[in-house]
Amino acid sequence: MKHSKVTVVGAGFVGATAAQRIVEKDLADVVLIDIVEGLPQGKALDMMESAPVEGFSSKILGTNRYEDTAGSDVIVITAGLARKPGMSRDDLLFKNAEIVGGIVTACAKHSPEAVIVMVTNPLDVMTWLAKERSGFPAARVIGMAGELDSARYAYFIAEKLGCKPGDVEAMVLGGHGDQMVPVLGLTKVKGKSLTGIMDAATIEQINQRTRNGGAEIVGFLKTGSAYYAPSSSAVKMVRAILKNTGETIASCVYLEGQYGLKDVYCGVPAQLGRKGVRKVVEIPLTAAERQELHRSAADVRQNFLKLNIS
């Protein structure tokens, strides 16, 4: 049986861990590509040497050549700079736009039918840039953020209540980080509404901790950032695409009127399948949640316009 093919761009912690999860789950053969010579090759070889132990049959190739990515079904883009001390958000925006633009152009050339899953920050703007640079239909260019924020939210709730993380259903919309919009109406613990078992002040503390989820980890690591949860969230999206499940996952997608938003990328629930976004799922929001979602989308639009894409 022919395996699906996934390209992971960037052999850093997020990319390498995503590649490892994909092959260990036998979801697809993986091409791990990076500009640093020897880095993807060494990590790929190390992973393949674990195959007899882990029992997977998928293969992983490490390379510096985009020609090796040809015919990919999914392209996961993790490459880019992390924000460093003294670097403004705009500095990060422009530098990663330059990096991502070149990557997307090369990937699209060799895999014109692929679905792109963007992981590089600033996530929402980079996903929009990927759509423009690839020329792909918007349905085939998706960003990973909502699933990660929802996972963090669910874990923090479970930690506070002392229950299993799997007992918590959580949904976070909007932009990644500061612009996230928790949907309390869809956040439940063992089927019970969170608002019925946790006071408003505690909920707001958890909301704030989720907004700062990445920064909290950076604070511990000092010289690195999160990669286990981000890679896990990206691979969940890859699985839904490759298996054509139609699973509803909070994703950064292009809106064309849904939620009263048009021509902008924003995090909302979406059914994912082999061709990318099957359907944007519209859920009921309070007036305040809707206002926050629109504010988040306006911020994405403002930052995208800074790139002056023609």
Q: Could you read off the pLDDT of 186-197 as tens digits, one per residue?
A: 999 999 999 999
Give the CA distances from residue 176 to residues 30, 49, 87, in Å, rounded to whole numbers and listed in that order: 27, 36, 19
Higher-confidence position of 198 and 88: 198
Please tell me the predicted confidence (pLDDT) of residue 297: 96
Mean pLDDT of the chain: 95
- Mean pLDDT, to the nearest integer, of 92-120? 96
Half-sphere exposure of 16 (CA within 13 A, CB side): 17
Using a cut of 0.85, tell me whether the model's pTM lies above it: yes
- Mean pLDDT, to the nearest integer, of 231-235? 98
Please tell me the predicted confidence (pLDDT) of residue 178: 77
Domain ranges of the chain: 5-143
What's the pLDDT tens digit per position in 3-38? 899 999 999 999 999 999 999 999 999 999 999 999
Q: What are phi and psi of 263, to 5 degrees?
A: 55, 50
Please tell me the predicted confidence (pLDDT) of residue 310: 65
pLDDT higher than 80, residue 86 = no
- Mean pLDDT, to the nearest integer, of 113-120? 98
Please pick, among 3, 110, 176, 294, the residue that the annotation labels catalytic: 176
What's the pLDDT tens digit per position in 39-67? 999 999 999 999 999 999 999 999 999 99
- Mean pLDDT, to the nearest integer, of 144-167? 96
- Mean pLDDT, to the nearest integer, of 216-236? 92
Q: How far apart are CA 26 and CA 70, in angstroms?
A: 20
pLDDT higher than 70, residue 87 = no
Please tell me the predicted confidence (pLDDT) of residue 3: 86
**CA dihedral for 165, 166, 169, 173, sign (positive or negative):** positive
- Mean pLDDT, to the nearest integer, of 91-106? 94
Please identify, in words, the CATH class of the domain defined by 5-143.
Answer: alpha beta
- Mean pLDDT, to the nearest integer, of 80-100? 83
Radius of gyration of the chain (CA): 19
Residues in the chain: 310
pLDDT higher than 80, residue 88 = no
Model confidence band, residue 85 (pLDDT cutoffs 50, 70, 90): low
- Mean pLDDT, to the nearest integer, of 173-199? 92
Known catalytic membership, residue 110: no
